[in-house]
Amino acid sequence: SVQAFVSQDQVAAYATSKTALLGLTRTIAIDYAPQIRCVAVCPGTIDTPMLQHAILESPDPAAVLQECKDMHLLKKIGSAKEVAAFIVFLAGENASFATGQAYRIDGGLGIAIGGSKQKDQ
């Protein structure tokens, strides 16, 4: 999750566990190279059953959905297919020099939480 890099209130345990996975990723990359590569994928808000449940359980689902979109520079929620395609790329030969790193697929969430005021006008 992108929460390994940026966080919010009330998610201390979640953010801590995601940050720990970055250390594990680096250690596995060191311990098992050169035979095995290890990378981490850190997504932003992704359209999953868990997200849909959280949105539908909120008092104003439409407002929460829009808020989720607006947090990202690309003004949308990512899809599981987008994340899967990114992982397939990282696992393939075209990324064979990648190891020990964390890759964000977060629609710009990690560089500008809350989006860009300029883009909203």
Cα separation, 68 vs 114, whole angstroms: 9
For the chain, the structural domain boundaries read 2-109
Catalytic residues: 14
pTM over 0.75: yes
Write out pLDDT tens, residues 69-92.
998 999 999 999 999 999 999 999
> What are the structure tokens assigned to 12, written together?
């201390």
* CATH superfamily, with its number, for domain 2-109: NAD(P)-binding Rossmann-like Domain (3.40.50.720)
Q: What is the pLDDT of residue 2?
A: 77
- Whose CA is closest to 51, among 35, 36, 67? 67
Q: Which residues of the chain have pLDDT under 50?
A: none
Cα separation, 57 vs 91, whole angstroms: 36
Residue 43 preceded by cis peptide, ω within 30: no
Q: What is the pLDDT of residue 114?
A: 59
C-alpha count within 13 angstroms, C-beta hemisphere, residue 119: 11
Residue 90: CB atoms within 10 A of its CB come to 19
Cα separation, 18 vs 103, whole angstroms: 13
